[in-house]
Amino acid sequence: MDPLLRLQDFSAAFDTARGLAPAVDGVSFDLAPGEVFGLVGESGCGKTVLSLGILGLIPRPGRISGGRAFFGGRELTAMSQEELRALRGAEIAMIFQEPMTALNPVMRVGVQLAEPLLLHKGLDKRQAEARCLELLEQVGLPGPRAVLRAYPHELSGGMRQRVMIAMALGCGPRLLIADEPTTALDVTIQKQILELLSGLAAERGLAMLFITHNLGVVAQTCHRVGVMYAGRLVEVSPVEALFAKALHPYTQGLMASLPRLGSRHERLTPVAGTVPPLTALPSGCHFHPRCPFVMDRCRREIPPVFRPEPGREARCWLHAEGGRA
């Protein structure tokens, strides 16, 4: 099957007073219809910039600095702002971490929900209202009529996130970009939202780019996972393989850092050191100053993508034996 989304050597950078900050550096991956692809990494690793880049929404002074992105065979990186605008909200939708800031506080939910329908789908007001009610029911909101008339502050966090999802689904997108959609929610509400999103992917063939820092969420929600570190995609694996045995030392470090239920009073093994600033990235592999397996080569040469096992990628010299890509 042709991929729905394809990134080739995709890069984005910010012009800063201290020089060019490469926020996303040579990221390549494919996303198939119906696939949930998790993008994991710590703050500042570039996962949000990457997702904004796909939509052509990187704020100044940032810009796409190299590579190409394709959606359904069309090149996103060659489109005009107008063409992108027609795509956003219609074929590619996005939901954010904090639904309160993503919703307009002085507009009733119904008006906001109907906006893309009137704009992209050319529905009239009555058709839009009927569609809104249908959408609110699909995302499991009880009393959809009352929700339409409500202002965002009258809804709970979980309800607001459901409204965001309803809004994203409005025009029948093929790709949903979800940036930390459950991070601000309590665990029981998080579980409901995750089940809703997984259901949508499975039932409608909706592809999802799921950005999160929570490895538990990844394990329970995603099919494949990409791990980002300091702007680079350092590992791509099917989720089972990743959790069974991570290939990249950074991924291994993340797994070992996790306190687990039932791991009482044992010492955790954190990744030593801290994430480098984007304006002062280490040479070679960005992870080398924190890596327990660092070799001479890691300090000098940027590791290419190695494929040590079928369907798995790691940008790490430890896997050089596995044959170069």
Partner 1 sequence: MSACLEFRDVRKTYFVRRGAFSRAVPVHAVAGVDLAVAHGETVGLVGESGCGKSTLARMAVRLDAPTSGQVLMDGMDLWRTEEVTDRLPELVQMVFQDPFSSLDPRMTVAQSVGEALDARKVGDKASRRARVAELLDMVGLSPEHAGRYPHQFSGGQRQRAAIARALALNPRLVVCDEPVSALDVSIQAQVINIFQDLKERLGLTYLFISHDLAVVSHLSDRVAVMYAGRLVELAPAAALYDAPLHPYTRMLLAAIPVPDPAVRQERGAAPEARESAGEGACPLVPRCPLAGPDCAQEPPMREAAPGHLVRCHRA
Report the interface residues with partner 1, using CB under 8 A: 42-43, 142, 156-159, 186-192, 194-195, 213-221, 239-240, 243-244, 253-271, 274-275
Tokens of 117: 């329908």
Choose between 43 and 81: whose C-beta lies nearer to partner 1. 43
Largest CA distance in the chain: 67
- CB neighbour class for 219 (10 Å; exposed up to 12, middle 13-18, buried from 19): middle
User: Which residues share a beta bridge with 324?
Assistant: 306
The closest alpha carbon to 36, from 286, 306, 275, 220, belongs to 220
H/E stretch holding 66 reads strand 62-71
Q: Sign of the C-alpha dihedral, residues 58, 23, 6, 311?
A: negative
The distance of closest approach from Cβ of residue 44 to partner 1 in the complex, given in angstroms and rounded to an integer, is 9
73 or 262: whose CB is closer to partner 1? Answer: 262
Q: What is the DSSP letter of 281?
A: P
Helix extents (H) in the chain: 47-54, 81-87, 99-102, 109-120, 125-138, 144-149, 157-169, 187-204, 215-221, 239-244, 249-257, 296-300
Containing H/E element for 234?
Answer: strand 232-238
Specify whether the CB–CB gap between 237 and 223 falls below 8 A. no
Written as one letter, the residue type at 174 is R
Grouping H, G, I as helix, E, B as strand and the rest as coil, residue 92 is strand
Amino acid at 35: E
CA separation for the pair 261, 101 (Å, rounded): 32
> Which tokens is 24 given?
């996303």
Rounded to whole angstroms, how far apart are CA atoms 103 and 151? 9
